[in-house]
Amino acid sequence: MADVVLQCYKHRQTIMRKRLRIPHFIMHTALCLAFIHGPVLAQPTTSAEAQRIIDHVRVLASDSCQGRGPGSGGIEKAAAYVMEQFKSIGVRPAGRASFGDPFTMTTGVKLAEPNSVSFSVVIERPGVPVDQTRPITVGWKLGADYQPYGFSETGSAKGEVVFAGYGLSTSSYDDYSGVDVKGKVVILLRGLPGWADADQTLRQLATVRSKTTIARDKGAVAVIFVNKNGDSADVLSRFGLDRLGKYSGILALQARRSTCAKVFPPKGTSLFVAETDIEKTKKPRSFQLANVTANVAVALAFEESTTSNIIGMIEGTDPTLKNEYVVVGAHYDHIGMGDENSLAASNEPAIHHGADDNASGTAGIIELSRAVAASPLKRSVLFMAFSGEEKGLLGSKHWVTTPTVPLDKVTAMINLDMIGRLKDGKLNIQGVGTSSRWPAVIDSAKKGLPLTITTTADGFGPSDHSSFTGKGIPVLFFFTGLHGDYHRPSDTWDKVNAEGQVTVLSMVERAMRIIGDAPDRPEFAKGADKPASTQSSSMALKVTFGVVPDYSDDPQGLHITGVKPGSPAEKGGLQADDIITAMGQTTIKNIYDLMAALGSFKPGDTTTVKVIRDEKPLSLNVTFTGK
Ligand SMILES: [Zn+2]
């Protein structure tokens, strides 16, 4: 997830942004960066609980679990281990099929057939009319010269070629002014010119996805991205899924700069000169490549797999309160051999062990279930190991959409994600603003423990608790911080601070017992289901809209799960479950399209928003207000 509720998935933006792969949703980044710390080597464990934690982590982060990528054999081994532990502890199955709560998800994308790119270039020769000059064909090699983006459409296109600078289009700076790209193939530079870095509006449009939306809506049939001149000019970014939207509505690929520069006719302006001009003049420098035609074919195949949340329960002791539930959750999936979320330096497949992320949290819920089995609470406790978190909180979203117990009986959700690298006693707790009861709970739960607590109010953000916040359930998210091994193969068991984790779990257990045994349930704080991060994420937007997007892909458009009371969207008549297909001139296929469209409006503007409701198209008028 501005008024478009953008969930940001734990600090990936921070890192990704360094590679400029994903938009600038930075809310949690500052918080996480505060937690960056160097590797800690596994201290000798003294307590039996610490030893058990290390044992769990060693199994879950072992090579045989293969980095627990959904759809892999490795995650099935991890699932079996968690179920086995639950069984041995006496946790009762509470899934749909025993402990399992299966769901299907897109786990990957791969190249299918045909994928090809070639150019027909007429090299002008003095005295020979162009139409009598035989064109030469330049073919590009898949994987070597270029590769499609995982959000590209599948199909083929042929067209003349236009260089359109950085592909930006605003009232103040427009790379598309003076060029017509309808039915043509567009070449664009990634990123921004140096002088534009401080421009919020241009920064918002600097992502590959926003530029793709603009090129598509300008009528281009394909878009080819190249890096700016510099050290990484020829680096192709990792091929993989874009979890925030696999449908873009256009053929999209990236090419090595040196390869792409060669299709610019020798007589015309070169890529290097065009880029330098933009840098110097701060003006667009777009033009059609003379006598050049491109043939582009892209074929992708999405991999769907069934994976499972693992759900167990320990029933409460109180005859009434046992019908209410405290959810204690942790995701047990990780990124397997390294997918689009990997931060490894090399693109080579390698086991991403995910010891801290999140074998530590999974070990945590196993050990908490042991404590509760020994001394149950008044309320019942549901222990949930989620899958699909790394691909967009898919497991927790699946559960809150089709819960195995009535959602209104869930009194609170405690989420453990990366609790294995406690350093100097620093522990971050997020979601504290989702119930007025939380500050007191935290104060009493931390008493006497060697912990330095920092808190964050927002109940949205870095992990599965977001799915529960969106449903108005108070959440607490425990997290020991980011580190240099995050989303790399080097996140291994030997760096887990097991004794530190025992301390963290003592605090979690106390908080869980306070919640589980209290006569009345914690109130959900009004407004806490509207993430603060919307503001930060849509800093450059001048208007508010007020919808809650759903990130599971819908080929028709952007499905929304909610509308903010009193917002322009609500006043315009939008409703939860609508599928937005267009806003003004912009076709809406995903969150990026919506951001790009919203960026073009100012307060007081009215536009038409097209939606599909109950399979029928509907046209609504929305008047935007300021932020
Ligand atoms: Zn995680």
Q: Please check whether residues 606 and 458 belong to one and the same domain.
A: no
* Domain's final residue, options 272, 298, 324: 298
Assess whether 275 and 420 both reside in one domain.
Answer: no
Q: In this predicted model, what pLDDT tens digit does every residue of 142-200 receive, in sequence order?
A: 999 999 999 999 999 999 999 999 999 988 899 999 999 999 999 999 999 999 988 88
Taking only the tens place, the pLDDT of each residue in 320-360 is 999 999 999 999 999 999 988 888 888 788 999 999 999 99
pLDDT tens track for 48-100: 999 999 999 999 999 999 999 999 999 999 999 999 999 999 999 999 999 99
List of residues 6+ apart from 577 with CB closer than 8 A:
559, 560, 561, 613
Same domain (yes/no): 428, 453: yes
Find the 283 Cα to ligand 1 centroid distance in Å.
43
Q: Is the domain of 331 the same as that of 359?
A: yes
Q: Are residues 135 and 230 in the same domain?
A: yes
Final residue in a domain of this structure, among 298, 318, 341: 298
Domain contains 469: yes
User: What is the Å distance from ligand 1's center to 462 Cα?
Assistant: 8
Asked, for residue 21, whether it belongs to a domain, the answer is: no
DSSP H/E element including 498 = helix 498-517
Q: Can you give the pLDDT at residue 40?
A: 45
Per-residue model confidence as pLDDT tens digits over 480-522: 999 999 999 999 999 999 999 999 999 999 999 999 999 999 9
Q: Is residue 345 domain-shared with residue 283, that is, in the same domain? A: no
- Residues at Cβ < 5 Å from ligand 1 ion: 357-358, 417
Q: What is the token pair recorded at 425?
A: 């006693």
Q: How many Å lie between the centroid of ligand 1 and the Cα of residue 362?
A: 10
pLDDT exceeds 80 at position 524: yes
Asked whether residue 187 falls in the same domain as residue 281, the answer is: yes
CATH code where residue 555 lies: 2.30.42.10
Q: What burial letters (b/e) apply to 439-464, b meaning 16+ CB within 10 Å? A: eebbeebbeeeebebebbebbbbbbb
Residue 546 Cα to ligand 1 midpoint, Å, equals 28
The pLDDT of residue 336 is 96
Ligand 1: centre distance to CA 361 (Å): 9
List, for residues 450-474, the tens digit of each pLDDT value: 999 999 998 988 899 999 988 889 9
Q: Given pLDDT bands bounded at 50, 70 and 90, which one contains residue 536?
A: very low
What is the model's pLDDT at position 244?
66
Residue 499 near residue 55 (C-beta atoms within 8 A): no
Query: Are 397 and 512 members of one domain?
Result: yes
Q: How far apart are CA 14 and CA 191, in angstroms?
A: 16
The type of residue at 240 is: G
Q: How many domains does the chain have?
A: 3
Q: What's the 54 CA to ligand 1 centre distance in angstroms?
A: 18
Domain around 133: 113-298
Query: Considering the domain boundaries, does residue 65 fall inside one?
Result: yes
Kind and range of the H or E element at 100?
A: strand 100-111
- Which pLDDT score, from 0 to 100, does residue 321 have? 98
Tell me: do 178 and 77 sit in the same domain. no
Q: What is the pLDDT of residue 102?
A: 97
- Tell me: do 488 and 590 sit in the same domain: no
**pLDDT tens per residue across span 8-58:** 334 434 433 444 444 444 444 444 444 444 444 455 566 999 999 999 999
Give the domain-ending residue among 298, 318, 347.
298
pTM above 0.95, yes or no: no
